[in-house]
Amino acid sequence: MSESDFFSKFLTLAALNEPKLSSNFRKPLHEVSNLGVSLPPLRYKYDPTKS
Amino acid sequence: MSDKLAKTLQRFNARIEAGDFYEAHQTLRTIANRYVRGKKYDESIDLITYAAGAFLKSKQGGSGTDLIFYLLEVYELAETPCNDSSVSRLIQLLVLVGSEEPNLKDVATGMNNWSVKHSNYKFGDPYLHSAIASKLLEGGFTYEAERYLVLGTHDSVKRYVDLLWDWYKQSGDDSSFPDFISRLIFNFLFIFNIEYALEGSRELLQRFTEYKPDAKFDTLEKGQYQVKYFTNYESLNFLQLLIVACQTKETVLFQNLKSQYPNLANKYTNELQFLGQEYFGIRVEKPVNFLQDMMSGFLGGK
């Protein structure tokens, strides 16, 4: 299946039902107890004085 | 404010104006100690806050931050709750700390640890995070700042977007955009913040398509979902569909997504494993240690 076919079919399937978590869903921060995995650092340095 | 306290502050101000910082610091500490011993916590908190601010404004970072730590000690003794006024007092001081201050990170950590201990937030107060993040960014502690931005307020999302966008432009590598946007998407998905994952990623994609007119895309809208299909950026397609999959919590969509994009599934193994567990209940099986199993079988243990 081409990527664009996949993309559009995926969306169609996803949209069959209402999302379990709506687009404005946010778990309240005081219920957050796990931050997930830490992401690897990027290869690029950030210089705050340049922005 | 009592007359006595007003008089103390007058003397303190005179010393600061005269540039007599050492004297001012000593006097202040002595008087604040006296209040603390007398359990007059409110007065001592006012006094220390005022003095710390005065030192920081006079570029006396050492004395200023010393008093911030002292203030946190008094907060502890007084069992000050983490609320708007106690947090905003810390934020006011934090804003005054110079970004070059050698113990900036310790100050930020000290403040946050206090808020962890005295609030319902396991990782600390979001408003405090927002202020800490800005300060750490100025000080060049980018990754630490990122962590606080993710756990901040709505304002922090905008700043996170700006940070990633500036950083991307500084990278000098036009093709690196997915590395930046993926951070925001993963970090917000990890803490079940769909709203900010969508808001932040849409803003970044918007900037990206304006910045790179050759990034061709179609906007697709189905049900509640609105996504951009890019002809040349499969990682951007993958990441957007990942948010959709998490919203549906449908395991089959998640698995299909991974099979369609094996290279990305591989690149993001750890991240997807975590999301698989949290959103789709996919348990991670521990690798089998054959020898250990056999040994415990022989020895009757388990």
CATH pick for B174-301 out of 3.40.50.300, 1.25.40.10, 2.40.50.140, 1.20.1740.10: 1.25.40.10
Confidence bin at B8 (pLDDT 50/70/90) = confident
Q: What is the mean pLDDT of residues B59-79?
A: 97
Dump pLDDT digits (tens) for B188-206.
Answer: 999 999 999 999 999 999 9
> Which pLDDT value is given to residue B229?
98
Give A1-38 pLDDT, tens digit per residue.
899 999 999 999 999 999 999 999 999 999 999 999 99
Residue A51 — pLDDT band, cuts 50, 70, 90?
A: low
| B229-283 pLDDT, tens digit each | 999 999 999 999 999 999 999 999 999 999 999 999 999 999 999 999 999 999 8
Distance from CA of B228 to the nearest CA of A (A): 10
Find the CB nearest B170 among A22, A35, A46.
A46
Each domain of chain B, given as residue ranges in start order, spans: 1-80, 174-301
Q: Is B111 exposed, middle or buried (0-12, 13-18, 19+ CB in 10 A)?
A: buried
In this structure, are residues B150 and B158 in contact, taking their beta carbons and an 8 Å threshold? no
Q: Specify the pTM.
A: 0.92
Which pLDDT does position B302 carry in this prediction? 46
- Region of B192 (left: φ > 0; alpha: ψ -120 to 50; beta: rest) is left
Average per-residue pLDDT for chain B: 94
Structure-block tokens of residue A17: 């039902």
pLDDT over 70 (residue B208): yes
Measuring CA to CA, which residue among B111, B102, B27 is closest to residue B68? B111
Interchain CB contact of B122 with A (< 8 Å): yes
Q: What percent of chain B has pLDDT over 90?
A: 90
Question: To the nearest whole angstrom, how far is the Cα of B223 from the nearest Cα of chain A?
Answer: 5
The two three-digit tokens of residue B64, written as one number: 């200023």
CA distance B150 to B191: 9
Picking from B189, B195, B202 by the largest number of A CB atoms within 10 A of its own CB, the best residue to mutate is B195
Q: For residues B208 and B149, what is the distance between their CA atoms, to the nearest angstrom?
A: 21
Which of A10, A33, A47 shows the shortest C-beta gap to B253? A10
Chain A residue numbers touching B187 (CB-CB < 8 A): 36, 39
Return the pLDDT at B108: 98
Q: Which residues of B touch A32 (CB under 8 A)?
A: 121-123, 151, 191-192
